[in-house]
Structure 1
Amino acid sequence: MNPQLKRYYIFLGASLVFSIGLQIGLGYLGVPWYISIGAVMAIFILLPMIMRRRQMSNTGNYGGDSGTGSGGFFGMGSQGGSGGVRYVCLVCNNKHKGGTCPRCGSKMQRADF
Structure 2
Amino acid sequence: MQPTAQTEHFSNFSEFYPYYLSEHRNAMCRRLHFVGSLGVLGCIGLAFAATDWRWLIAAVICGYAFAWIGHFFFEHNRPATFRHPLYSLMGDWVMFKDICTGRVSL
Same fold (TM over 0.5): no
More strand by share: 1
TM-score (normalizing by structure 2): 0.38
Structure label with greater radius of gyration: 1
> Using CA pairs below 8 Å that are at least 6 residues apart, which structure has the higher relative contact order?
2
More helix by share: 2
TM-score (normalizing by structure 1): 0.36
